[in-house]
Every structure is written in C-alpha cells, then in structure tokens.
Amino acid sequence: MWISSSRPCRIGMHFFNPAHVMKLVEIIPGLETSQETIDDVVMFTESLRKIAVVVQECPGFLVNRLLMPYLNEATCCLQEGAATATDIDATVVEFGMPMGPFTLMDMLGIDVCQYVGDYLYAEYGPRMAPAPLFYKLVEAGRLGEKAGKGFYGYGGETDRPVRDMIAAFGRDPKSEFSVERVMYPLINEAVLAVQEHIAAIHDVDMAMIAGAGMSYGGERKGPLAIADEIGLDVVLDGLNDFFAKYGERFRPARLLRTKVRAGHLGVKARRGFHEYA
C-alpha cells in the first residue's frame, strides 16, 4: 500500500499474507519522505498492533529479498538430486524454520516464486539465477496447494511427475545437500542488506523473526544473530567453500569479510553483528 499527498511524503506499507495474522509490516519511505512522515506511519502501524520495520526501497524490499536465495538454493539441491523435498524440508525445520522451503513455496504459489525469482535475477544478477525446475513446474501447472499439486501432491495427486522432472535433469554427482548450503545464502543476503543500508541490523533480524518465523537453537533469532551464534568466520569459510563449488550464488558479502578480518566473529568474540556481554 502506498500513501502519498501533495507534500513530499510518499511512503509504502508492505503487509504480509495473511495480513490479519502476520505481525510484520515493512515501511518503505521514498527518497524525499520526511522523518516526520516515517514516524507517523510507524506509529500508525504500531496502533494496529503490528511490528513496523523501516526498509529503504530495493527490489524485493527485505524479507522477500532474503527468502528467495534460500528458496532457490533448496530448489537447486532438489533439481540436482542431492536430497528429496521431504528430507530438505525436515532438515530446515530442525534448523529452526517453522516450515520447510517446499511446503512454503507450495503455500505461496510456485508461479509467484518464479515471478519473484525472475524479477530479483533481473535486478541483482547472477547470484539470484533461478533454478530451471521452477519453469518446469509452472509449465506443468504444478503451482502449489491452489492447484492441488506443486512440489508435493495433494488429494489424489502425487509428486511422481516432479520426481520424473528431476530424473530428466540428471543427477549431479558433485552436488551435496546440507542445511548450511540453503541457509547461508539467506544469511549472506542479510549481510548485503546491512552493507547497502537497506535496514538496520536489529530490524533485519526482527523482520525475519516476525515475517518468516526464524529461530535457532530453540530461540527466536534472525539471520544476523544466527550468524553470530555460528561464528562469522565459520559462515565465511562455508560461503567460500560453496562459492568455489557452486559459483556466484555464494560470493561472500564484503561486510562479512571485513567483520572477520577485524576479529568480530560473533558470540565467541563478544562482538559480531551484535554485541555480547
């Protein structure tokens, strides 16, 4: 939703679906939006008992921008035969997400995911290159729950056609699935958002907690706090390994490299993206 008037106060409010349940609202000011207008819209959002996060304008805003690399990498793993959808979903839920990527994409609509993926690829380039499996599913009418079939089958439908599609791509013997492979692109994109001043560190974490239900180790935590817990040096080493193996999707953010060089390694160093007593 956009709010505008004759004064320079154009500003966006991005509610999450279903709006009556989801607490997060992304507030997107324009280039000339006054701080007074931003504050007023934040107060209005909070009056609705929502959580307001101010996000500078960028393709995908914040939550969708961070989610798409994670959803795409999970789809790459599936397409390459590295693991089944069920196994990937179960592993990601164990990590701390409220549902697995394929359950989520079936709920959102695979055609929607393809559209968002194409848009982000056009805007951000190779690191957002969509998995070809998205196009095969959409061509086959497997759009998710609304069509009764997506990555999974519903009612009388099965996932056998999806398994046939994957078999047609051929097993990639070099491809391996791990929870780090699908979660580190999300963490890296969160670092890029901070690096580009799209949102503050606290707001990035809060947005992913409120908008995507992220948790880790049984506690509600966003991607930057999770990176601090894992160790920023560990995350950087993992991204470098994946970059060498899978390419541009895993190029580490410059800010992450800078943090590690400075010894800001996270919880173990008492300083990372957050500070610890």
CA atoms within 13 A on the CB side of 107: 9
d(CA 39, CA 276): 29
SS3 103: helix
- DSSP helix/strand/coil, 11: strand
CA proximity to 189, closest of 245, 134, 274, 125: 125
Place of tokens 């196009």: 135
Per residue in 119-144, is it b (16+ CB within 10 Å) or e — as a string? ebbeebeebbbbbebbebbbebebbb
Q: What residues are labeled active site?
A: 14
CA dihedral of 112, 118, 123, 129, whole degrees rounded to 10? 120
H helices of 50-159, where? Answer: 63-79, 85-95, 101-108, 110-124, 133-139
